[in-house]
Amino acid sequence: MIQSVDRAMRVLAVLRGRRMSLGEMAGRLDLAPSTVHGIVRTLVDHGMVVQEPDSGHYRLGPATLQLGNVYLDTLELRARVAGWAPELARRTGCAVRAAVPLLLADRQEVVVVAHEPRPDGTRQMPEVGIVIPAHACALGKALLAFGPDPSGTLPSMTADTITDPAALAADLARVRATGIAAEAEEAVLGECGLAAPLADATGLAGAIGLVTPVSGWPLPASAVDALRDTARAVSRELGGAAWPPAEARSA
């Protein structure tokens, strides 16, 4: 691992969703303020971090959005999901999300890369780019069930989040048996969901899911069937040889 690159990435990670002073960053990262200052000034020069003129605090800069948009524009999974998500939302009355895994040294998360709002005309926030702990959402469970063994901590998001490794393992076994993951208010209060894995030519590519308010839970069998149909169709377009994808356990 290249130390300077690792430290720069840690600075960007600690600023995710935050505005912080140099001292606060140094404390969070357990680094000398002079070391953090040199890294931050380099990131500022490249537009990855900006300093607020009034407070002097630092936050992520516009270049991070540019990189994110480039990633989304080149992601085939997102393009394929976009062709199917409107019809899946129409059939189920649910919002549709697609996500890819984000595997970090100390935890496993998912990043939402596509979002089709519920077709009921209600006001909904755009969700592309949100990050959710994998163990706490249906999208993440669909990925964990067919990917490497879960690792890292299992933080609690709500009172219903599964934080016991044995309970999570049992839940993931059910996902492997059915191809469908479920969660009820485990990540966000008032929100429930189903998800299915997506396969490409190399194996597990991502996941697609339905999200509904708790008032609409549990979803009917027709919604489960529609989700399976869509997951198979998207996987076929991505070059997947089988659905669900083959289980890939770590040694």
Concatenating the DSSP letter of every residue in 144-204 gives: HHHSSPP-S----SSTT----HHHHHHHHHHHHHHS-EEEESSSSTTEEEEEEEEEETTEE
Domain that holds residue 14: 3-65
Q: Could you tell me if 24 and 110 lie in one domain?
A: no
Q: Could you tell me if 157 and 191 lie in one domain?
A: yes
User: Which pLDDT value is given to residue 51?
Assistant: 94
Q: Which of 70-84, 185-199, 223-237 has the lowest mean pLDDT?
A: 70-84
Task: Indicate the residue among 14, 30, 65 that finishes a domain.
Answer: 65
Residues pairing with 191 in the sheet: 213
3-state SS assignment for residue 139: helix
Cα–Cα distance measured from residue 36 to residue 91, given in angstroms and rounded to the nearest whole number: 51
| Residue 75: alpha-carbon gap to chain centroid | 14
Q: Could you tell me if 133 and 207 lie in one domain?
A: yes
Residue 243 lies inside a defined structural domain of this protein: no
Find the CATH number of the domain harbouring 19. Answer: 1.10.10.10
Residue 246 lies inside a defined structural domain of this protein: no
Task: Indicate the residue among 45, 65, 85 that finishes a domain.
Answer: 65
Rg (Cα) of the chain, in Å, rounded? Answer: 20
Q: Could you tell me if 141 and 118 lie in one domain?
A: yes
User: Which pLDDT value is given to residue 250?
Assistant: 43
Residue 248 lies inside a defined structural domain of this protein: no
Indicate the number of domains in the chain.
2
pLDDT surpassing 50 at residue 90: yes
Burial degree of 102 (CB within 10 A; 0-12, 13-18, 19+): middle
Cα–Cα distance measured from residue 228 to residue 58, given in angstroms and rounded to the nearest whole number: 44
Q: Could you tell me if 219 and 162 lie in one domain?
A: yes
User: Looking at residues 162-170, what average pLDDT do you find?
Assistant: 96
User: Looking at residues 149-161, what average pLDDT do you find?
Assistant: 89
Sorting pLDDT into bands at 50, 70 and 90, what band is 17?
confident
Sorting pLDDT into bands at 50, 70 and 90, what band is 72?
confident
Q: Could you tell me if 220 and 100 lie in one domain?
A: yes
Residue 242 lies inside a defined structural domain of this protein: no
User: Looking at residues 181-198, what average pLDDT do you find?
Assistant: 98
Q: Could you tell me if 114 and 170 lie in one domain?
A: yes
Q: Could you tell me if 20 and 100 lie in one domain?
A: no
Of the chain, the percentage scoring pLDDT greater than 90 comes to 78
User: Looking at residues 217-245, what average pLDDT do you find?
Assistant: 97
Q: Could you tell me if 110 and 43 lie in one domain?
A: no
User: Looking at residues 218-223, what average pLDDT do you find?
Assistant: 98
Task: Indicate the residue among 65, 88, 107 that finishes a domain.
Answer: 65
Q: What is the mean pLDDT of the chain?
A: 92
User: Looking at residues 179-207, what average pLDDT do you find?
Assistant: 97
Cα–Cα distance measured from residue 60 to residue 47, given in angstroms and rounded to the nearest whole number: 8
Q: Could you tell me if 13 and 119 lie in one domain?
A: no
